[in-house]
């Protein structure tokens, strides 16, 4: 038996089969490293889905609680007119670089359902399924809400859909909170980065956060090694980004209703 095992090993080396370290099955690796979730099988392949209720996502947070005003939620549109926002879908992508590079994590909050979804490509081959599922959810939304999504996230998703020859129709109305925040609070903050604005909605500084610049290489490491405990921190980073969008959205809604800046702002100049 021992000689047979040695013979088999030599044969594998000769074929080049030992160049890569053997990995556990993909689902098993994900369950060990990622937040609780499940594998989803689609016509475009599989991906990993971490899904929970919005209340579960914010339970135990030390930051300012989310406040949900009664409908309709009115917010200034691109030309200053009021737009009634129905069934908002908040979304944020984690990518590996420019549009020619794959995305690997799509985080959304469906406010009508009260559901947080994070779709994750456990390797590069799963990107197509993530793109298809994210595009489908976006197509069914009443209104998209993003931060710099008009310039980056949505065009990026469209580009990746084209790369995989997936349909990508006209998106629903889109509220880009970067532009809304600049109009509402011009001159109040040193910059309009998302984490700068987090302080404006009463959120504490993030602890143990993964810097955005490090996320692409961290994902590549995850794919190469098959497991990396830091990937859980990337999920947390993405979740906090999407939750911040919800907070900013409702703070802007309050400001519109009051006809000026919201008194809920903190941490100005």
pLDDT at 50: 97
Report whether pLDDT(261) > 70.
no
Peptide bond into 72 cis (omega under 30): yes
- Asked, for residue 29, whether it belongs to a domain, the answer is no
Angle at the Cα of 151 from the Cα atoms of 179 and 184, rounded to 5 degrees = 5
Of residues 268 and 234, more confidence is placed in 234
- Asked, for residue 159, whether it belongs to a domain, the answer is yes
What DSSP string describes 41-106? EETTEEEEEEEEEHHHHHTT--SPPP--PPSPEEEE-TTS-EEEE-SEEEEEEEESSSTTS-EEEE
Of residues 67 and 44, more confidence is placed in 44
Domain count, the chain: 1
- Asked, for residue 245, whether it belongs to a domain, the answer is yes
pLDDT at 63: 58
**Minimum mean pLDDT range among 105-109, 116-120, 122-126, 187-191:** 187-191
pLDDT at 248: 87
**Minimum mean pLDDT range among 6-20, 50-64, 254-268:** 6-20
Report whether pLDDT(28) > 60.
no
Nearest residue to 95 via CA among 152, 168, 172: 152
Side-chain half-sphere exposure of 72, counting CA atoms within 13 A: 10
Report whether pLDDT(245) > 80.
yes
Task: Give residue-wise pLDDT tens across range 147-173.
Answer: 999 999 999 999 999 999 999 988 898
CATH number at residue 200: 3.30.420.10
pTM over 0.85: no
Return d(Cα 34, Cα 166) in angstroms, integer.
27
List the structure tokens of 93.
């992508």
Report whether pLDDT(9) > 50.
no
- Asked, for residue 13, whether it belongs to a domain, the answer is no
State residue 139 phi and psi, 5-degree precision: -60, -30
* Sequence-separated (6 or more) residues with CB below 8 Å from residue 58: 65, 66, 243
State residue 10 phi and psi, 5-degree precision: -60, -40
pLDDT at 234: 94
pLDDT at 212: 85
- Greatest alpha-carbon span in the chain: 82
- Asked, for residue 155, whether it belongs to a domain, the answer is yes
Return d(Cα 152, Cα 163) in angstroms, integer.
16
Q: Which of 26-40, 71-85, 190-204 has the highest mean pLDDT?
A: 190-204
Mean pLDDT of 112-118: 93
- Asked, for residue 221, whether it belongs to a domain, the answer is yes
Enclosing domain of residue 244? 36-258
CB 154 within 8 A of CB 174: yes
Return d(Cα 40, Cα 233) in angstroms, integer.
22
- Asked, for residue 66, whether it belongs to a domain, the answer is yes
- Asked, for residue 252, whether it belongs to a domain, the answer is yes
């Amino acid at each position: 038996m021992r000689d047979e095992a040695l013979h088999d090993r030599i044969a594998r080396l000769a074929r080049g089969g030992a160049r890569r370290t053997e990995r556990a099955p993909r689902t098993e690796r994900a369950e060990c490293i990622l937040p609780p979730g499940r594998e989803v099988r689609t016509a475009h392949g599989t991906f990993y889905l971490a899904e929970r209720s919005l209340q579960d996502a914010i339970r135990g947070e030390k930051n300012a609680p989310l406040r949900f005003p009664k409908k309709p939620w009115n917010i200034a549109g691109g030309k200053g007119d009021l737009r009634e926002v129905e069934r908002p879908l908040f979304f944020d992508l984690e990518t590996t670089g420019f549009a020619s590079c794959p995305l690997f994590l799509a985080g959304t909050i469906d406010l009508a359902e009260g559901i947080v979804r994070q779709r994750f490509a456990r390797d590069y081959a799963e990107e197509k399924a993530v793109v298809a599922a994210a595009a489908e959810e976006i197509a069914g939304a009443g209104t998209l809400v993003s931060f710099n999504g008009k310039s980056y996230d949505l065009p990026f998703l469209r580009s990746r859909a084209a790369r995989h020859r997936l349909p990508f129709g006209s998106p629903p109305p889109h509220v880009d909170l970067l532009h809304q925040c600049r109009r509402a609070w011009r001159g109040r903050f040193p910059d309009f980065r998302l984490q700068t604005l987090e302080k404006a909605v009463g959120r504490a500084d993030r602890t143990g956060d993964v810097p955005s610049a490090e996320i692409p290489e961290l994902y590549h490491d995850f794919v190469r090694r098959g497991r990396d405990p830091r990937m859980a921190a990337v999920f947390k980073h993405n979740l906090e980004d999407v939750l911040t969008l919800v907070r900013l959205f409702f703070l802007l809604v309050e400001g519109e209703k009051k006809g000026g800046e919201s008194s809920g702002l903190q941490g100005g100049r």
